[in-house]
Structure 1
Amino acid sequence: MKIQSVKDDAFKPYGRIVDGYDYKLLLERLESETEKPADGVIYEPTCEALEDTPAFAQLRDNCYGGMPIEIGYCNGTNTKLNCFEYHRDNEINIAADDAILLVAKLQDVENGIIDSSKTEAFLCPKGTAVEVYSTTLHYAPCSAKKGEGFRVAIVLPRETNFDMPNITKANSEDAYLWAKNKWLIAHKDTAEAKAGAHVGITGENIDIADLI
């Protein structure tokens, strides 16, 4: 596996760079008001400090066409794939530190299974915002430098990743539903798999530690 850039043509099937919006205060608050664990990853779907910024209204009204949105964050230290998730919409990632995104195509999932060899890695440079398409499998970002962590703001439709609805499973995809608007496919060697997530990533649990 090689680490590419979100600015490369190879990223176009997965997403695009979203520029023109005022991310300055959002990034300042992400750095000053959110923690960055050195031994794991934390995710918060909403953060008042990030939503009380000029970027919130611009992303809601311009980028999402007026839909209700949330801005939270995914921070920490990580080098492994672990899982893939997807949503019924696009997601915006805004990086306060260099971060690496591990992604694959939803179209490559067959009968709930995808081999980890389908994964590609892309560097998202500090200060860059990317839109990850709804057909892009993704999960927590990875560290871009050995021993260093990341802070990434996460923008999604309001209440995404809140409590899972109580459903009667009607088809095979329903088995992947893990939270509101979140479908999850796990590798067998993960805490998510042990917690009952659908195990569908075959092959190795990719670790980019030797690439950074």
Structure 2
Amino acid sequence: YGNLLQEYDLTDIKKFFGKKICCAKNGNFYNPSNNYLENMETIEKIGYDIYAGMNFTAGECTGQTQSFSAVEYHQGSEINIMLTDVVMVLGKRNQIINGFFNAAKDATLFFIPAGTVIEMYGDTLHYSPIKVHQEGFKAVVMVLQGTNQALPNNFCSENTWIVKKNKFQAAHAIRKDKIAKGVIVGVSGELIKLKQI
């Protein structure tokens, strides 16, 4: 699924999140690019080590996710710096059968403690972190530049999983909000939902 990145000093990132970033109270908040984070020495070092000179972005993701209600992947690794305890629900692209990922049957759940940096490989299926504690979750998300940004108006593709630049996503049937916006149903099986501490 990916790799643990253990050699980085997260002191400044933790300090920034402690003072500046609160958990979104409802749903999730994701900022694809935060210039302050991107200019932090540790973020730059991770970017150099993982993306090898390719342009990348780093932004905050916070929220109240309690279930695995959608799935996505990108071309290229995604880095998550967890500032709170979370659970990640992960799978592999080769587990998508006839357009569906049966998360209840095929996914693997990982508890990831606060202060952990993970790299998820490009063929790893994932979605938002799931909160462990009632107050919510906080994380930094690093991706290749352009990822998760809006598609141009003239974009045309027959790949029904494409929802944004370099963002391939499908949802569980419970996500009527996403389906109404054009996201296809592609997560099958019983909804994975966790009870918080």
Stretch moving more, 45-54 or 30-39: 30-39
The percentage of counterpart residues that share the same residue type is 29
TM-score, with structure 1 as normaliser: 0.86
What is the CA–CA distance in structure 1 between the aligned matches of 2:137 and 2:97, rounded to whole Å? 32
Secondary structure class of the residue paired with 1:156: strand
Contact 1:31 / 1:151 at 8 angstroms: preserved in 2? Answer: no
Contact 2:74 / 2:168 at 8 angstroms: preserved in 1? Answer: yes
Count of residue pairs the alignment pairs up: 194
1:207 is matched with 193
Deviation at 1:110, TM superposition (A): 1.6
1:123 paired to 2:123: no
Deviation at 1:189, TM superposition (A): 1.0
Gaps of 5+ in 2: none
Deviation at 1:130, TM superposition (A): 0.5
What is the CA–CA distance in structure 1 between the aligned matches of 2:92 and 2:191, rounded to whole Å? 17
Matches within 5 A, 1:34-49: 34-49=21-36
1:169 to 131, 154, 157: 157
1:194 is matched with 180
TM-score, with structure 2 as normaliser: 0.92
What is the CA–CA distance in structure 1 between the aligned matches of 2:45 and 2:178, rounded to whole Å? 34
What is the CA–CA distance in structure 1 between the aligned matches of 2:143 and 2:190, rounded to whole Å? 29
AA in 2 matched with 1:110: I
AA in 2 matched with 1:21: Y
2:73 to 80, 86, 89: 86
1:72-102 deviations in whole A, cap 9, x for unaligned?
Answer: 1210111110100100001111011111111
Matches within 5 A, 1:1-212: 14-117=1-104, 118-145=106-133, 147-165=134-152, 166-170=154-158, 174-190=159-175, 191-209=177-195, 212=197
Q: Which aligned segments of 4 or more residues in structure 1 are displaced greater than 2 angstroms?
A: 165-170
Alpha-carbon spacing, 1:65–1:160, altered in 2? closer, same or farther (3 Å): same
Q: Which one has the bigger strand percentage?
A: 2
